[in-house]
Amino acid sequence: MAIDDQHTDGLIEGRHEGVPELRALRRRLLLAACQGQARRIMALDPDFVDWPLSDVEVLDALALWGRRGGRLELLSPSYEQAHRQHARFMQWRLKWDHLLRIADFDPGEAGPDWPTSLLVVVGGEASGALRVLDFDHGRALFSRAATERQAAVELFDAIAQRSSPGWPLSTLGL
């Protein structure tokens, strides 16, 4: 990558390799989206285990961003592992759940691109799409190109249309 491809937010377009790099990239993108006045943040993942959902700095940034009208949308076929992995996120949700749209879906409805993982930011300086290409090796592609971002939004929205509300804060039993 040329130096011009690196933005001040530390997000470099192109391929990224390795699970630690992918985790760091997701964190940087979420923080940049919150600071950069994004209108919409969409996240799609099989389980959200390797996401910074319990990172204090990310949660604080999401809360501040949400106060300004932002909304985080999460899609997954199962939140069971995320529920166990992200206790801090569950606590945060007690106060900030109104900033979230969380839904689940049948993986069979996701289409030929499944399984995939997306983090899409629409609006603001951090607009872009991060797509995981290979889960086992943490290979991902980050692009700020409008065409890539639009394709990711369309995939996310197509799955969201076939989803239902998911991951309740509590399970009520009788």
pLDDT for 114: 85
What confidence tens digit (pLDDT) does each residue in 66-89 have? 999 999 999 999 999 999 999 999
Domain 25-165 in this protein, CATH class: alpha beta
CA dihedral 20, 31, 142, 14 (to 10 degrees): -70
Report pLDDT for 171: 57
Q: Are 14 and 1 in contact (CB under 8 A)?
A: yes
Parse the chain into domains and list their residue ranges: 25-165
On the question of pLDDT at 63 being above 90, the answer is yes
Q: Which helix (H) or strand (E) holds 165?
A: strand 164-165
pLDDT of residue 9: 63
Nearest Cα neighbor of 148 from 120, 123, 171 is 120
